[in-house]
Amino acid sequence: MPLPKLALLLCTQLALWASVSICPAQWPVERGDQAATGAVPTPLPENLAVAWDFADAKAFEATPVIDAGRVYAADTEGGVYCLNLADGTLVWKVSIDTGFLAAPAIQGETLILGDYDGMVYALSTVDGSERWKFEAEGQIDSGAMFHGEKVLITSEAGKLHALKLSDGSVVWEYETADQIRCSATVAGDRTFLGGCDSQLHVVDLNTGKKATDPMPLESPTNSTPAVVGPLAFLPTYGGQVFAFDWQKGIRTWTYEDPEKSQEYRSSAAATDKVVVVSSQGKRVTGLDATTGKQLWQTMIRRRADSSPVIAGDSVLLAATDGRLYRLNLQDGKPTWQYEVKGALLASPAIADGKLILTTEEGHILCFGGK
């Protein structure tokens, strides 16, 4: 069902969605929005085809981001690229003596990147020039998040750093007992972290102190929590998918595959109706967001190390065998696929009716309507 023009202009959401959704013209952070839902209400065109292919890069493991008609991507050898969304032409490129596993993140005219040496860079989106940098002490695996004028970034040193967007100075730091490999998720004045310490942390964004006691998980996780309304959804290494009511501080349901134990190393995509997860066992599963009941399950040929994303009534998933899958959100049935050379390790980004995908072979691909 198409969005009303007023809703498009104001970037508001369909009544179907419980969380605030991003404007369809942008995907500024790794999981698309502050709540890390990995979902947008507007569908992609029914017949997808490659609109352009930028092939002058090195291997990618990080999800690209999209803002103001530009695509930003960072490769594993330190290349940072800004392309025109319309045609894939290069606007600017900078090279940094390191590499990136974490997605870039955009706020205004500032691009934030964290590398595998633990350095955080703030670059101008206009020309790629450096504005400031900060040392986070540990490898950075996931993209930054924003809360007002604060940059939130995690590292394997087990810390969440809140930095001033303007100059990179420290506002506060929150420390956990083990590595943090996920991004921070934001809902209101709270941020959520899934940790290798097997806990879900809820932190007050104003003070940097814990807002509630950490909620126990049964195993570590590197998944970014997806928050829809009062519920936070989080898969774990141990094969459980949890739903927590973060306002009440209680677990509302737990899902485990009834046939075979699974391992989850990616984040969930979520609406207020459906939660989609992908396991290392090559299973893509749709769960009822309220009850955790399994709605459907689809097997793919090879595992997906990336996280699923939702666009309207479709699930998009990039797999390690180079296949990009499109599944029906209602029943999980495959409706389309596209195969590239090399592995797909990063999740897609979706904006303005287009899907952007990076590959292990150093390509940035744009899919649009035929």
Confirm if 307 and 318 have CB atoms less than 8 A apart.
no
Nearest to 35 by CA among 161, 153, 192: 192
Looking at the predicted structure, is the pLDDT value of residue 4 above 50? no
Question: Does 12 reside within a domain?
Answer: no
Question: Does 364 reside within a domain?
Answer: yes
pLDDT of residue 24: 65
Average pLDDT score, the chain: 93
pLDDT of residue 14: 37
Question: Does 64 reside within a domain?
Answer: yes
What pTM was computed for the model?
0.92
Question: Does 17 reside within a domain?
Answer: no
d(CA 98, CA 302): 30
- Identify the domain containing residue 363 by its residue range: 23-369
Question: Does 3 reside within a domain?
Answer: no
Domain count, the chain: 1
How does residue 261 score in pLDDT terms, banded at 50, 70 and 90? confident
Question: Does 284 reside within a domain?
Answer: yes
Cα three-residue angle 273-278-279, rounded to 5 degrees: 135
How does residue 299 score in pLDDT terms, banded at 50, 70 and 90? very high
Looking at the predicted structure, is the pLDDT value of residue 16 above 80? no
Question: Does 2 reside within a domain?
Answer: no
**Which CATH number covers residue 108?**
2.130.10.10
d(CA 42, CA 332): 18
The percentage of the chain sitting over the pLDDT mark of 70, rounded to a whole number, equals 94
Question: Does 112 reside within a domain?
Answer: yes
pLDDT of residue 22: 44
Q: What is the CA radius of gyration of the chain?
A: 19
pLDDT average, residue stretch 130-136? 98
